[in-house]
């Protein structure tokens, strides 16, 4: 949302609908600090948005997890790590690893080749065709989607080059012609000035 604010897309012409991903126990809004204070600048960034929040426990209860389970795991983190760790963020990591595991299992079942799971393109292709029930929600990765390519921040809307024309340090461009031209113009100007002085006073 900060990026849309910077790019001038924070107007009434745009409406952003965000399924909010919770990273704490209290389903806090993004503009609320850890102490409950309101961060006004962040809140302004979300003024044109609809934030959809599902209670965190409603997401994990179908998986057999309760508030007591979460409190117990948090307590174990505090005992063994000496601090209260945020286990909520790890649930998204769990879903990401589940997606990867489903993809490589499907790929291995199809090819019966262990080397195939080292092929990132094949694994990614399997991920794009998967639907599974994660710990947080139900994930559906479809391949039939519209590719949006006109969002590049360039004058003509085209995709930026992988490498600038002159390289990252101008090592591929030479300015010899420009330097010679500038020197020639400067020398010509000096010569004209000297000629004028000689003509005027001699």
Judge whether 58 lies within some domain.
no
pTM above 0.85, yes or no: no
For residue 1, give its domain range.
1-53
Same domain, 101 and 129: yes
Please state the separation of Cα 153 from the chain's center in Å: 15
Strand locations in 75-194 (E): 131-133, 138-140
Judge whether 197 lies within some domain.
yes
Judge whether 66 lies within some domain.
no
Q: How many structural domains compose the chain?
A: 3
- The backbone torsions φ and ψ at residue 129, rounded to the nearest 5 degrees and listed phi first, read -115, 15
Judge whether 80 lies within some domain.
no
Judge whether 138 lies within some domain.
yes
CA-nearest of 92, 105, 97 to 135 is 92
Same domain, 90 and 107: yes
Better-predicted residue by pLDDT, 1 or 56: 1
What does the pLDDT read at residue 140? 61
Same domain, 155 and 168: no
Judge whether 63 lies within some domain.
no
What does the pLDDT read at residue 147? 55
Burial class (CB in 10 A: 0-12, 13-18, 19+), 30: middle
- Which of 30, 53, 76 is a domain's end point? 53
pLDDT in tens, 29-49: 667 766 667 777 777 777 766
Residue 191: band (very low, low, confident or very high) from pLDDT cuts 50, 70, 90: very high
Same domain, 186 and 143: no
Same domain, 156 and 90: yes
List the structure tokens of 154.
């360039």
pLDDT in tens, 61-119: 666 666 666 665 555 555 444 444 555 556 677 778 888 888 898 889 988 888 888 88
What does the pLDDT read at residue 83? 47
Judge whether 198 lies within some domain.
yes
């Amino acid at each position: 949302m900060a990026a849309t604010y910077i790019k001038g897309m924070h107007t009434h012409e745009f409406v952003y609908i965000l399924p909010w991903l919770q990273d704490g126990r209290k389903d806090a809004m993004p503009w609320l600090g850890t102490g409950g204070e309101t961060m006004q600048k962040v809140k302004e960034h979300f003024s044109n948005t609809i934030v959809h929040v599902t209670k965190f426990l409603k997401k994990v209860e179908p998986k057999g997890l309760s508030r007591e389970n979460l409190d117990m795991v948090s307590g174990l983190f505090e005992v063994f790590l000496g601090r209260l760790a945020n286990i909520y963020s790890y649930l998204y990591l769990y879903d990401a690893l589940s997606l990867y595991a489903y993809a490589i299992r499907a790929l291995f079942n199809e090819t019966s080749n262990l080397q195939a799971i080292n092929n990132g393109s094949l694994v990614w292709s399997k991920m794009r065709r998967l639907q599974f029930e994660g710990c947080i929600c139900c994930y559906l990765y479809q391949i039939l989607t519209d590719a949006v390519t006109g969002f590049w921040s360039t004058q003509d809307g085209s995709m930026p080059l992988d490498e600038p024309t002159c390289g990252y340090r101008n090592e591929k461009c030479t300015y010899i012609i420009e330097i010679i031209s500038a020197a020639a113009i400067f020398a010509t100007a000096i010569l004209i000035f000297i000629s004028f002085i000689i003509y005027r006073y001699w």
